[in-house]
């Protein structure tokens, strides 16, 4: 649709500061070729463009498209054979995950994200060993094709490990501690996943040339050291240099668990954030998922360098990682975004529920204790993610000059059967909004979901094909991986036993000041 009027009872334009939200009532916006040209009262916009087609109505809520700022594209790790465990044990269980078609897997996730109001995702691909006959480049292209076919924006990266690929310690040393048959099996698997720094950067270059900011594309290509314990200092420095050269972003995991905090203290004698700062790694182009175990000093460094933390409340709960100190992040001016991490509370990539969880889990007990405000929640779910994905010059707010990425919710149903006139709009939204209220999704001025139906593909056909492929029996190599993961579990537990110094005590987000 080259141009259109989008009408709403409310247009939720943007959050300004911790308390102020810009809202226009009885409103409309006019967009042409995906650019917002006017925002104002509906009567005025209609009078100026009487022949333009209209979307929405006087009972819709229009808001900026949300950004899922940390996503792996896995359809239900639980249903795929990996029940929740503490992260370090869960990662090995993920070896047992069955094979899926990367295109269908990503497209099914896109369906779930769009239906919950997400227009942009930070997709971090972590499957280093593609099933037989496929290459990492093939899988990456297939995933990016899925986002393109869905019409979504995406910041895509492949997570890279060049050390400590089984535990937070040397691979060879750990393999020597295993029974010989198990060690041989894992040595073979690791050999199949070997990727040098040069090979990784060449892969990045190829994907960048093909997809990043090409005309008509909605994709960016980032670099990604998987996490501090999995990336050598040399790899981190090279990625920082490449990001500067290509003016792109870096996305990584950081301080998700107590064991990761202990790793930094053991190996560097300082926090992970302090070590990254010593390397000159932090900066506004860098986003870090989780950040559960950050100290006050870490937060000061992140705020000063403009580094973003992508908060993953559901995942942190499901994998027993803890509760990130989000209130302290906001207090200190750290940039915060929200991501589902493909492990949402209901295992369904529901961004509306993820934001609602963030709104509740950080409400510190006590009459005068902090909690994220509605304006801060909106900013984290939109502007924060736009910054992390480096799309902030285009999306995150509904303003003249920005791209027309927006979500229309049926406010009449959302507020039914009665709404006290004194209740703030955002309170209603964060308390009650569900995917069933999302009626239309627009990206770059294009309607990709209209009245609950996708315009670019048939949802039922996609789900049927995905279901039929998963109905096939597990192949011998999939069964073998399951057995390997089961056999490895007790050895991982032995490795991490006694790892945690006494000073690294459990925290729940409220007392994380040291």
How many Å apart are CA 500 and CA 258, to the nearest integer?
7
pLDDT tens for 249-291 read 999 999 999 999 999 999 999 999 999 999 999 999 999 999 9
Q: Is the dihedral of CA 13, 31, 25, 62 positive or negative?
A: negative
Q: Secondary structure of the chain: what % helix, strand, coil (to 5)?
A: 40, 20, 40
Question: Is residue 109 within 8 Å of residue 73, measured between CB atoms?
Answer: yes
Q: What is the 3-class SS of 48-62, one letter each residue?
A: HCCCCCEEECCCEEE
State yes or no: pLDDT of 302 exceeds 60.
Answer: yes
> What is the secondary structure of 112-153 as a DSSP string?
HHHHTTEEEEEEEE---SPPTT--HHHHHHHHHHHHHHHT-E
State yes or no: pLDDT of 127 exceeds 80.
Answer: no
Helix (H, G, I), strand (E, B) or coil at 128: coil
pLDDT value of position 97: 83
For the chain, how big is the Rg over CA atoms in Å?
23
How many Å apart are CA 399 and CA 255, to the nearest integer?
35
Given its phi and psi angles, is residue 39 left (phi above 0), alpha (psi -120 to 50 degrees) or beta? beta
Q: How many degrees, rounded to 5, is the angle at CA 114 between CA 371 and CA 101?
A: 115
- Mean pLDDT of the chain, nearest integer: 93
pLDDT band at 217 (very low <50, low <70, confident <90, very high): confident
For the chain, what is the largest distance between any 2 Cα atoms, rounded to a whole number of angstroms? 78
pLDDT band at 128 (very low <50, low <70, confident <90, very high): low
Q: How many degrees, rounded to 5, is the angle at CA 317 between CA 415 and CA 157?
A: 90
pLDDT tens for 158-171 read 999 999 999 999 99
pLDDT value of position 78: 81
pLDDT value of position 508: 62
Q: Please state, for a pLDDT cut of 90, what percent of the chain lies above it.
A: 81
Helix (H, G, I), strand (E, B) or coil at 208: helix
pLDDT value of position 76: 82
Q: What is the 3-class SS of 249-315, one letter each residue?
A: CEEEEECCCHHHHHHHHHHHCCCHHHHHHHCCCCCCCEEEEECCCCCHHHHHHHHHHCCEEEECHHH
Beta bridge partners, 123, equal 71, 156
pLDDT tens for 428-465 read 999 999 999 999 999 999 999 999 999 999 999 999 99
Helix (H, G, I), strand (E, B) or coil at 459: helix
Structure tokens that stand for 176 in this block: 């020597």
Question: Is residue 173 within 8 Å of residue 164, measured between CB atoms?
Answer: no
Helix axes 180-192, 476-496, angle to 10 degrees: 110
Phi, psi at 424, each rounded to 5°: -60, 145
CATH number, domain 3-58+403-457, options 2.30.40.10, 2.40.50.100, 3.40.640.10, 3.40.50.2300: 2.30.40.10
State yes or no: pLDDT of 514 exceeds 50.
Answer: no
pLDDT band at 190 (very low <50, low <70, confident <90, very high): confident
pLDDT value of position 187: 86
Helix (H, G, I), strand (E, B) or coil at 33: coil
State yes or no: pLDDT of 513 exceeds 60.
Answer: no
Lowest mean pLDDT among 267-281, 479-493, 498-512: 498-512
Residues 66-363+377-388, CATH architecture: Alpha-Beta Barrel (3.20)
State yes or no: pLDDT of 500 exceeds 90.
Answer: no
How many Å apart are CA 399 and CA 38, to the nearest integer?
8
How many Å apart are CA 420 and CA 422, to the nearest integer?
5
**Which residues touch 448 (CB under 8 Å, ≥6 apart)?**
114, 150, 151, 152, 441, 442, 454, 455, 456
pLDDT tens for 374-391 read 999 999 999 999 999 999
**Which residues touch 473 (CB under 8 Å, ≥6 apart)?**
none
Strand 219-221 and strand 153-158: the pairing is parallel
Helix (H, G, I), strand (E, B) or coil at 15: strand
Mean pLDDT along residues 351-357:
97
Higher pLDDT, 415 or 93: 415
**For the chain, what are the domain ranges?**
3-58+403-457, 66-363+377-388
Mean pLDDT along residues 23-40:
97
Length of the chain: 514
């Amino acid at each position: 649709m080259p141009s259109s009027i989008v009408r709403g009872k409310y247009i939720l334009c943007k959050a300004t500061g911790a308390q102020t939200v810009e809202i226009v009532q009885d409103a409309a916006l006019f967009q042409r070729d995906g650019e917002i040209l006017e925002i104002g009262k509906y009567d005025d916009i209609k009078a100026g463009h009487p022949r333009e087609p209209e979307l929405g109505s006087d009972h819709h809520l229009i808001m900026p498209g949300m950004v899922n700022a940390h996503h792996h594209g896995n359809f239900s790790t639980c249903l795929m054979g990996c029940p929740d465990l503490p992260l370090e044990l869960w990662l090995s269980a993920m070896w047992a995950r069955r094979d899926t078609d990367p295109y269908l897997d990503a497209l099914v996730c896109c369906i779930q994200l769009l239906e919950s109001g997400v227009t942009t995702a930070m997709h971090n691909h972590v499957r280093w060993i593609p099933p037989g006959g496929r290459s990492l480049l093939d899988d990456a292209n297939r995933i990016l094709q899925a986002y393109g076919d869905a019409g979504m924006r995406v910041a895509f990266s492949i997570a890279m490990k060049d050390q400590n690929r089984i535990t937070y310690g040397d691979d060879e040393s750990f393999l020597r501690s295993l029974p010989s048959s198990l060690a041989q099996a894992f040595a073979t698997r690791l050999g199949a996943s070997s990727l040098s720094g040069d090979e990784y950067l060449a892969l990045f270059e190829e994907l960048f040339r093909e997809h990043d900011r090409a005309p008509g594309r909605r994709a960016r290509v980032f670099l990604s050291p998987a996490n501090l314990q999995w990336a050598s200092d040399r790899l981190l420095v090279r990625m920082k240099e490449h990001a500067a050269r290509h003016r792109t972003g870096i996305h990584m995991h950081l301080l998700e668990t107590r064991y990761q905090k202990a790793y930094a203290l053991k190996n560097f004698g300082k926090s992970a954030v302090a070590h990254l700062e010593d390397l000159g790694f932090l900066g506004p182009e860098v986003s870090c998922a989780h950040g559960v175990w950050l100290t006050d000093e870490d937060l000061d460094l992140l705020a000063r360098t403009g580094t973003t933390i992508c908060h993953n409340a559901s995942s942190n709960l499901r994998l027993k990682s803890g509760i990130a100190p989000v209130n302290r992040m906001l207090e200190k001016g750290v940039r915060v975004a929200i991501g589902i991490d493909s492990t949402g509370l209901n295992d369904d990539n529901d961004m509306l529920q993820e934001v609602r969880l963030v709104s509740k889990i950080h409400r510190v007990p006590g009459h005068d204790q902090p909690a994220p405000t509605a304006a801060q929640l909106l900013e984290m779910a939109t502007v924060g993610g736009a910054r992390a994905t480096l799309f902030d010059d285009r999306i995150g707010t509904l303003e003249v000059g920005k791209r027309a990425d927006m979500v229309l919710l049926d406010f009449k149903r959302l507020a039914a059967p009665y709404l006290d006139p004194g209740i703030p709009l955002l309170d209603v939204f964060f308390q009650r909004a569900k995917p069933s209220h999302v009626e239309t999704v627009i990206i770059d001025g294009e309607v990709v979901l209209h009245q609950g139906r996708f315009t670019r593909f048939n949802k039922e056909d996609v789900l049927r094909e995905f279901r039929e492929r998963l109905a096939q029996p597990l192949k011998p190599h999939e069964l073998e991986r399951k057995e390997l993961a089961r056999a490895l579990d007790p050895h991982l537990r032995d490795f991490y036993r006694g790892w945690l110094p006494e000073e690294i005590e459990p925290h729940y987000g409220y007392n994380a000041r040291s």
